[in-house]
A and B are shown apart, each in its own frame.
Chain A
Amino acid sequence: MARTDLSVVRKPIEQAQGLPNAHYIDADVFEEEKHAVLFSSWAGLAVAADVPQIGDAKPIEFLGIPLLLVRDRDNAVRVFQNSCRHRGMILVSEPKKIEGAIRCPYHSWCYSTAGKLVSTPHVGGAGLNTHPAINKDELGLTEVRSHIYFDTVFINVDGKADPFDVVHADLMDRWREFDQPLHHGGPESHFDLEVQTNWKLAVENYCESYHLPWVHPGLNSYSRLEDHYHIQAQGKYSGQGTLVYQQLKGPDEAVFPDFQALDAKWNTGAEYIAIYPNVLLGAQRDHCFAIILQPDTQGRTTEHIHLYYAQPKTSEDMRTRNAHLWKTVFEEDIFVVEGMQKGRQSPLFDGGRFSPAMDGPTHNFHDWVAGKVQDHRARQDT
């Protein structure tokens, strides 16, 4: 595979161009980025609310890898490879409640929800359930490194990234006020959008405010472009903030309850940050959201959107209205990310030029992706 030239991407924003077309439309580059960008960092997989009860198990395929999300008996959320240590059979094929053990449907090897191999029936012959060559302590489920932040389950597939709370120490500090219970709004607070675009374009669109007046004109009456500011941490995350957040009002001017003990800046402030590579978070005084971008192919992405509140019991009607409002906003972005994807079929498109004033958060992301790919290539060359 011919390697793309990323040197121009990494130049200062005034001279830089965006990632080459191949990073959006080429299957081989998608495969390269899978290892270089998505497996080597802390990627979003799911939300802990996907397995709300002890014993809940949900199979999830992540870039071709069959994974199993489980809430174990100690209430810890874990991620395993969803294959038996015996013959590699898929263990769980549908979301289910694990009442006791995870039993492989093939030869019935059984695992605890913490991944320990607990029984190997007939492994030594009929009615003989042990064999000297089979050490159960060495054959637990293969666990994938995971970390939960903002209820989002992040995974590091290659196991080599620095710990999540080291990589994202500054973000966790920036939003430490939100380090309090987030209550998922329930079924009406979760929706998925399937979009015909490369996952990176969804990140790029999310983290900049430049497009707001044109794509979301409904914001212009109360949340103008000049009310927004850039957020960017090189090599980690970027996004935007607003100074004029307005709460959703219900009957009799009712609002959602606030998170506790927030600084006054959050009275009218809100921040929207893309944690690289594929998680988009929103923080507001009365609700938050997490969007997991699931890269399906180089040209298709599924967005999993979850809304959270400060209290477990809020108005169902208002939650439904709020989800509808956000869905409308996110759907307004679809033609943009799909249009940029189509635009990258133009063979002479050169990655595009950035506005030094407005595209800093986007260039920050391009620079990070390019750096990860370059690091990956350097490791391959050695």
Chain B
Amino acid sequence: MTDLNDAILAAHARDDGRALVTLYAQAADQSRDVDTACFFLTCAYIYALELGVPDAAALYARLDAHGRV
């Protein structure tokens, strides 16, 4: 996760919302438990929602599947 963590911090530093959607989704995929995954999915979803990108629907569906929205 260290490389991914660095990439997320770098994306935050350059205010790159599109990258944050992808990177937080990757962090969710690499999580070992549902709660952690949903934390990262939420972050990815919020940036997708802000940007209005199509990823938002799929991310919402993943959260919905876990009863998180």
Contact = CB atoms under 8 A, between A and B. Distances in A.
A103 B50 contact: yes
A127 B42 contact: yes
Interface string B47-67: 011111100100000010000
A213 B38 CA distance: 73
B41 A100 contact: no
A101 B45 CA distance: 11
Given A119-B46, A121-B46, A126-B35, A99 B69 contact: no
A121 B53 CA distance: 18
A110 B50 contact: yes
B50 A127 contact: no
B38 A128 contact: yes
Nearest to B47: A103
Main secondary structure of the interface of B (DSSP, over half): helix
Interface residues of A, number: 15
A211 interface: no
Interface string A121-156: 110001111100000000000000000000000000
Given A122-B39, A122-B42, A129 B49 contact: no
A161 interface: no
Contact of B48 (A100, A122, A129): A100
Contacts of A223: none
A118 interface: yes
B35 A127 contact: yes
Contacts of B41: 127
B5 interface: no
B43 interface: yes
Q: Looking at chain A's contact residues, is the secondary structure mostly helix, strand, loop, or mixed?
A: loop
Contacts of B39: 122, 126-127
Nearest to B31: A127
Contacts of A320: none
B52 A99 contact: yes
B50 A129 contact: no
A53 interface: no
Nearest to A127: B38
Contacts of A101: 49-50, 52
A108 B10 CA distance: 19
B38 A108 contact: no
B1 to A, nearest CB: 17
A122 B42 CA distance: 8
Given A129-B68, A130-B68, A130-B69, A118 B38 contact: no
Interface centre among A110, A121, A122, A126 (most CB of B within 10 A): A121
B36 interface: yes
A99 B46 contact: no
Contacts of A118: 49
Given A100-B56, A101-B52, A119-B49, 17 more contacts: A99-B50, A100-B48, A103-B46, A110-B50, A119-B46, A119-B69, A126-B35, A126-B38, A127-B36, A127-B39, A127-B41, A128-B38, A128-B68, A129-B42, A129-B63, A129-B69, A130-B69
Interface of B: 34-39, 41-43, 45-46, 48-53, 56, 63, 68-69
23 contacts: A100-B49, A100-B51, A100-B52, A100-B53, A100-B56, A103-B46, A103-B49, A110-B46, A110-B49, A119-B45, A119-B49, A119-B69, A121-B42, A121-B43, A121-B45, A122-B39, A122-B42, A126-B35, A126-B38, A127-B39, A127-B41, A128-B38, A128-B68
